[in-house]
Structure 1
């Protein structure tokens, strides 16, 4: 038997590849199927089942394409009602893969169909739990995402989650390995640990949600402090439930190379968003006017989903030459399937064609320190509230990037301000959005708070972020 966790850091998502006796199972696969097919061929095994823990909200799964290519059936837990052919398992139903078994545990609460999969090895020993979004390391799945579909309140869903955890998962043996669907950085939980694998016994000791005195206490703790889910979540759920375009078709469409004249013509005719995925340093120096920068070198897909929101938005790509396929692939993982093509030759081709370019007024932290001495200035910090609470520049305003569409309207267009995040990634996203909407009277700080921290600029006292998160 072999268990492989295939972890994608950008999405903080874990897919699982399991083999035994010439057969395989894959749990919660990503959108692109070729890596899984290559694994199957290399190992000389047949894919028997594709298990889905629930209808995912934060990414589009590859279950449909993978099933079509391998003929392996898709398995969901009880109450699931997809628009495509699938096995809807019964609670405690057993599926055999080679010499091992997968037992379905219906664990509703995050969603109604949420299920965990208990692996029983060749010796009949319960060995591993693939817990989906029911149990994370350090946290549990948020119970507010399925309210509308379930016609239930988040408190009622949290009550179901309590039963699932305390009556189905906690009674399992301490030495069982827990393989969750997500880790730290995912919006599906609020307080996840950085590790991606643990034993259940350790989670029983360290996970706050598993140490509540009663159901009421549990409901209060897991619903407290939930941030609003990104707008694209609901659209991803529908794609996972109803179906989607094949990834091969999406990739083919997105890989259309466009010379600057074609790129400009299509942008004007289609109203497509120009998405520049280069690093923030290169973007600051020059970019196509009205384009938005979300760099591939950061939490690309989640920020695309959070800020663009509408998955049907047409997109034109500007990338470093050679990164086009990666960009199209990572967009498709969160349901953005309408890439019309990319700028052939990248930004240099646009610049060399003599077309108009724009730039961001960016200065170093040292320049920032010199400019603000003895002056009444305005500073906007676009980091998360918890980062701001941990430490910030004295007098800075907390305006998280995730809420830019709400706070951008409060800005005075003629009032100058300084803009920063932790390292420059998020503040450049904010800068691009601000300039695209007509706000230009600001200065962005290169290196963000990490660079500012090394200056003598007055800052608040440091507070451990763990304490902030648990407050």
Structure 2
């Protein structure tokens, strides 16, 4: 028997490849199927089942493409209603792969169809659980995503989750290995550990959710501090449940090189959003007017989903040469399938064409410190927990994820400085503000990580509520 965790850091997502004798199973695959097909061919095994723990919200799974290419059926837990052929398992139903078995444990709460897959090894020993979004390391799945579809409140779903954990997961042996669907950084939970594999026994000791004395306490603690889910989540659920275009078609359409003239004409004719995936250090020096910067070297796909939201939005790409396929692939993982093409030879070709270029003023933390005074207006786009830990004294807390709510409140006649932790998120914010005609600001290179090293006054407490 072989179990391989295939972890994708950008999405903080774990897929699983399991082999026993000449058969294999894959759990929660990513959109692109090539890595899985290569493993199957290398091992000389046949894919027998594709297991889905639930209808994912934060990424588009590769279940449909993988099933088409291998003939393997897709398996969901009880109550799932996909718009395609699939095996809808019964609670406690057992599937055989080679000499091992996978038992379906229906564990609703995160969603109604959420299921945990219990692996029973060749000797009959219960060895591991693939817990999906039911149980994470240090946390449990958020119970507020399926309210509309389930016609239930988040409190009712949290109560279901409590029952699932108490009745199906906690009674299992402490030495069972826990393989979750996500790790730290995923928006599917709030308190995940950095590790990606653990024992169930250790989770019983360290996971706050598993240590609650009763259902009422569990519901309160699990729901406390939940931020609003990214708005693209519902669209990904719809794609996972209803179907999507083949990944190869998406990739072929997107790999369309356009010279500067054609790029500009396509943008004007299509209303496409221009997405510049270069690093912030390069973007601010020069970019196509009205383009949005979300750097590829970062949490690219989740921020694309959170900022652009509409998966139907046509997109034109500005990339580092040679990264176009990676960008299209990572966009497709969160359902953004409508890439119309990319700027051939990158931004240099635009610059060499003599077309208009825009810039964003960026200064170092030391320069910011020199100019800082009691009248300086500072916008901190980090998330609330980061801000509360430490922040520039009297800075405005304006999370990037909520930029559509606060951008319109800014006074373009009053200068402000903007920062995040390291410069990635603040440049996303700067590009969005700039595209909306808000230009009277300075972005701080290195963000709060560098500001901490300066004399700028900082506070360890949450300052009074302020409005812009």
Structure 2-normalised TM-score? 0.98
Question: 2:438 is matched with which residue?
Answer: 439
Write the distance in 1 (CA, Å) between the matches of 2:215 and 2:446. 45
Question: 2:170 is matched with which residue?
Answer: 170
Local SS of the residue matching 2:458: coil
Alignment RMSD: 0.9
Cα distance, 1:452 vs structure 2: 0.8
Question: 1:339 is matched with which residue?
Answer: 339
Question: 2:466 is matched with which residue?
Answer: none
Asked whether the 8 Å contact 2:391–2:459 carries over to 1, the reply is: yes
Question: 1:69 is matched with which residue?
Answer: 69
Question: 1:468 is matched with which residue?
Answer: none
Local SS of the residue matching 1:285: coil
Write the distance in 2 (CA, Å) between the matches of 1:454 and 1:28. 43
Write the distance in 1 (CA, Å) between the matches of 2:286 and 2:266. 21
Asked whether the 8 Å contact 2:82–2:241 carries over to 1, the reply is: yes
Question: 1:349 is matched with which residue?
Answer: 349
Write the distance in 1 (CA, Å) between the matches of 2:461 and 2:69. 53
Local SS of the residue matching 1:19: strand
Write the distance in 1 (CA, Å) between the matches of 2:12 and 2:301. 10
Cα distance, 1:225 vs structure 2: 1.3
Local SS of the residue matching 2:317: strand
Question: 2:279 is matched with which residue?
Answer: 279
Cα distance, 1:12 vs structure 2: 0.4
Is 1:93–2:55 an aligned residue pair? no
Write the distance in 2 (CA, Å) between the matches of 1:414 and 1:69. 58
Q: Which runs of 4+ in 1 moved over 2 A?
A: none
Is 1:212–2:212 an aligned residue pair? yes
Question: 1:114 is matched with which residue?
Answer: 114
Cα distance, 1:375 vs structure 2: 4.9
Write the distance in 1 (CA, Å) between the matches of 2:109 and 2:215. 13
Cα distance, 1:15 vs structure 2: 0.2
Write the distance in 2 (CA, Å) between the matches of 1:217 and 1:462. 27
Deviations 1:304-358 (A, max 9, x none): 0001000000000000000000000000000000000000000000000100001
1:266-415 aligned at under 5 Å gives the runs 266-372=266-372, 374-415=373-414
Of 1-10 and 449-458, the range deviating more from structure 2: 449-458
Write the distance in 2 (CA, Å) between the matches of 1:113 and 1:139. 19
Deviations 1:18-64 (A, max 9, x none): 00111100000000001100010011111000000000000000000
Question: 2:29 is matched with which residue?
Answer: 29
Local SS of the residue matching 2:26: strand
Write the distance in 2 (CA, Å) between the matches of 1:304 and 1:34. 23
Asked whether the 8 Å contact 2:388–2:460 carries over to 1, the reply is: no
Question: 2:203 is matched with which residue?
Answer: 203
Question: 1:466 is matched with which residue?
Answer: none
Local SS of the residue matching 2:38: helix
Local SS of the residue matching 2:102: strand
Cα distance, 1:459 vs structure 2: 1.0
Write the distance in 2 (CA, Å) between the matches of 1:96 and 1:375. 68
Cα distance, 1:361 vs structure 2: 0.3
Write the distance in 2 (CA, Å) between the matches of 1:160 and 1:444. 45
Write the distance in 2 (CA, Å) between the matches of 1:335 and 1:418. 34
Write the distance in 1 (CA, Å) between the matches of 2:283 and 2:135. 39
Write the distance in 1 (CA, Å) between the matches of 2:211 and 2:429. 40
Deviations 1:75-100 (A, max 9, x none): 00000010100000000000000110
Write the distance in 1 (CA, Å) between the matches of 2:130 and 2:151. 27
Question: 1:55 is matched with which residue?
Answer: 55
Question: 1:252 is matched with which residue?
Answer: 252
Write the distance in 2 (CA, Å) between the matches of 1:22 and 1:359. 57
Cα distance, 1:461 vs structure 2: 3.1
Cα distance, 1:462 vs structure 2: 8.1
Write the distance in 1 (CA, Å) between the matches of 2:374 and 2:96. 70
Deviations 1:168-204 (A, max 9, x none): 0000000000000001111100111111000000000
Write the distance in 2 (CA, Å) between the matches of 1:235 and 1:389. 32
Question: 1:452 is matched with which residue?
Answer: 451
Unaligned runs of 5+ in 2: 463-468
Question: 2:144 is matched with which residue?
Answer: 144
Aligned residues: 462
Cα distance, 1:381 vs structure 2: 0.5
